Structure 1
Amino acid sequence: MKLCFNEATTLENSNLEKDLTICEQNGYDYIEIRTMDKLPEYLKTHTLDDLATYFQNHHIKPLALNALVFFNNRDEAGHSAIIQEFQEMMHICDKIGAKYVVAVPLVTTEKILKKDIKQSCIEVLQELSNIAESHGVKIALEFVGHPECTVNTFEDAYNIVQAVNRDNVGLVFDSFHFHAMGSNIENLKNADGSKIFIFHIDDTEDFQIGLLTDDDRVWPGHGAIDLEAHITTLKQIGYSDVVSVELFRPEYYQLTPEETIEKAKTTTLEVISKYY
């Protein structure tokens, strides 16, 4: 299984240029690039051609652009903005060779009927699928394990992806999000492994289901998540592609980026090496 670094892990103590250099030194195979902050910051002093050249000349490669956020249940102006942003992402993917765009559902306190959430997600993901097809890019829907996210369980996300029924639309399986809203491991066991595009590994302190936040994440293997069940099930259903470590813990931002990236690698490999 290939090793990937998600830039949220060094959100406040590094930048894209540093992340690339340190990840390359530590033997990471891939990186998930944050498009809402780290990439725009990089492009203030570099070009996309610079980034493409870096990837051409180094081992590490771009796995995904992370992320197209709040894509569903938008008003007309919001939907138009999402489509424009996605088209810009396709240009970036073409330039640097990124394989995936992560799509994050709407987070809101507004009550929306689940049937309307599902319908909007299906329609938008099919539209994005049409755009992405000619670019050879796949879309990875990431459900978020928080009550205010419109798609917050594995079951709901998987049902949406199945209804979309496109080869280039699948899921991010994030252990934190799976645990945080009490998703059922049986649903993962019954899933089509080819629909899992990216595996986000993480762990968490043992707080109540429904109250966990990203700040509660800890190094893989250092928390309360049953990672053994997650990983063995992923393996059983045929997933063996990439594991991407994604942490948002504020105290980890107090470390140097070198310390964070090295620790993220060692803790991830300590867990993954038991199964792959």
Structure 2
Amino acid sequence: MKIAFNQATTMKYSTLQQDLEVCEKYGYDLIEIRLDKLKAYLENHTVEELKQFFERNRIKPYAFNALEYINHRDEPGYRQIKDDLKFLCEVGKVINCKTIIVVPTFDIGDYTKSQIKEETVKVLHELADIAQAYDTRLALEFVGYPNCSVNTFGQAYDIVEAVNRNDVGVVLDCFHFHAMNSKIEDLQRAEPSKIFVFHIDDCEDLPVGALRDHHRVMPGEGAVNLDLLLRTLKDIGYSEMVSVELFRPEYWEWDIEKTIRVAKESTEKAIKAYF
């Protein structure tokens, strides 16, 4: 299983260039590039320079993270989503990054689950039609907060099944899976080919619905049953990649090199019994 670094782990002070150089030093296979970090990088660099970095080094781009709040948007907001999608597809075409994570919207009001499903399926089709021209796929990431319109693995997987396209899949995030008590049975029945991205993380032991990103901790240091998730992934035949994603402000204050090194060591220790 290849190990990736998600830039949220060093989000406050680091840059794309710094993350790339340090991740290369510590032997990461892949990186998930944040949209905001990419735009900041391109203020002083070119896409061609980014391409050359990946050509010269071991680490490779795996996914862009993320197009946020894709469903139940007003017209200007949805237009911005499409513009950012095209931008990422164009960059991805040059650097060979062919997966884009998309995130559902929060606080949408009193829509039913069936209405949310219908809207999200429609939007995913529309966005996937754009991405298809670039041979790029979309990964829907549910968020384990009560106010997110798609907040469990089962709900997200059901939407992806309804879309029924090879270029639309899901993100499995351990923190989000735990945070809203997603059902392990839903993961056990999942097709591994539909899991496009696997985020590993852990968290403090808070009640269902109370967890937020800042409660994340290094893999193996919290309350998430990582053994169950990793064993289930192995059982269903998933082994493509694992990306460490930690939004914890404490880690943002660490030296960047320490954060990246410890994140990789923790990830390797967590997965070694299974992959």
TM-score interval, normalised by the smaller of the two chains? over 0.9
- For residues 115 and 81 of structure 1, what CA distance do their matches in structure 2 show? 25
Q: Which runs of 5+ in 2 are unaligned?
A: none
Other structure's SS at 1:64 match = strand
1:27 paired with 2:27, answer yes
Q: Percent identity?
A: 49
Give the conservation status (yes or no) of the 8 Å contact 1:48–1:92. yes
Question: 1:107: how far off?
Answer: 1.4
- For residues 95 and 225 of structure 2, what CA distance do their matches in structure 1 show? 36
- For residues 172 and 47 of structure 1, what CA distance do their matches in structure 2 show? 29
- For residues 214 and 83 of structure 1, what CA distance do their matches in structure 2 show? 26
Query: Partner of 2:12 in structure 1?
Result: 12
Deviates more, 1:129-138 or 1:56-65: 129-138
Would you say how many aligned residue pairs link Structure 1 and Structure 2?
A: 275
Report the AA paired with residue 214 of structure 2: D
Query: Partner of 1:145 in structure 2?
Result: 144
Other structure's SS at 2:32 match = strand
Other structure's SS at 1:170 match = strand
Written as runs of structure 1 = structure 2, the 5 A alignment for 1:205-244 is: 205-244=204-243
Question: 1:191: how far off?
Answer: 1.2
1:260 paired with 2:259, answer yes
- For residues 80 and 130 of structure 2, what CA distance do their matches in structure 1 show? 14
Q: Which runs of 5+ in 1 are unaligned?
A: none
Give the conservation status (yes or no) of the 8 Å contact 2:72–2:108. no
Question: 1:13: how far off?
Answer: 2.9
1:98 paired with 2:89, answer no
Report the AA paired with residue 83 of structure 2: Q
Give the conservation status (yes or no) of the 8 Å contact 1:192–1:237. yes
Written as runs of structure 1 = structure 2, the 5 A alignment for 1:102-141 is: 102-108=101-107, 110-141=109-140
- For residues 151 and 92 of structure 1, what CA distance do their matches in structure 2 show? 28
Deviating above 6 A after TM superposition, structure 1's stretches of 4 or more consecutive aligned residues are none
Other structure's SS at 1:49 match = helix
Question: 1:211: how far off?
Answer: 0.5
Report the AA paired with residue 80 of structure 2: A
Query: Partner of 1:273 in structure 2?
Result: 272
